[in-house]
Amino acid sequence: MNGSVIEDDVVQVNDEASDSESITYESTEMEPLDDRALLHLDEGSDEHANLKHYFLVSIGSLAERCSVLAIRRLVHCSSAMGRAQIEAFKLYVRALAEKNGGNPNLNMGWYGTSIEGVRKIVKNGFGSDGVPMGGPVLSSVADTNGFKYLILCRVILGKTEQFLPGTKPFGPSSDEFDSCVDDQQFPQKYIVRYSDAKTRVLPLYVLTVQLDTQSKGSFFFSLITGKYK
């Protein structure tokens, strides 16, 4: 990725409502998230298919036991707060690009939270759900129906600092760095300062998923690296 260019097309994908028949305001399995800021994607749309594939690939062997029940796209233009989030994110893309030689280091990441966490993030952005962004391993808490919620985010990493295995940092050790990663070459976890989360992490999509109830073990998510186009 060429970080010297601000990718407005990626940011603005959530800034424009669509008249396509593939998108509807109807809510089925999760009425608590029936919000005008969330557009339900039809299962037959390319957007839904691409996101579902991207998610299932990112969780590896768990994909065989996981069902994607719904995908919703955040429409930031639906509120003044949403528009402010977009503008703040673009501002920080430019600021970190200037700070780091033209490269803001944009990436994608998954964030797992509770249904209440989703409500707060959709309304007010990150830093509002009571959990430090990124870390270090976040569990997607099931609701009363057994549904779990994941948010696909655009993340401005800037200059990264590697944290030691077994440690639980809440952010970089100095202002020289903008975020933390578990591995510089092949990172699997990002940690962004709680105070930076609202301006450096932009929520794009909310996925509702369900894990096979016969499966053993927990279903954990953290900010996972990857590219989605």
Highest mean pLDDT among 108-112, 135-139, 218-222: 108-112
Higher pLDDT, 82 or 137: 82
| Residue among 39, 26, 66 nearest 148 (CA) | 66
What would the pLDDT profile of 127-160 be if each residue is shown by its tens digit?
Answer: 755 444 443 223 566 776 778 888 999 999 999 9
Q: For the residues 161-185, what does the mean pLDDT come to? A: 86
| Residue among 99, 128, 129, 133 nearest 223 (CA) | 133
What would the pLDDT profile of 34-79 be if each residue is shown by its tens digit?
Answer: 567 899 999 999 999 999 999 898 888 888 888 999 999 999 888 8
Residues in the chain: 229
This model's pTM is above 0.85: no
Copy the structure tokens of residue 74: 């955040």
- What proportions of the chain, in percent to the nearest 5, are helix, strand and coil? 30, 25, 45
- CA quadruple 106, 123, 150, 57: dihedral sign: negative
d(C-alpha 77, C-alpha 11), whole Å: 12
Cα Rg, the chain, nearest whole Å: 17
Domains in the chain, please, with CATH?
8-16+37-221 (3.90.228.10)
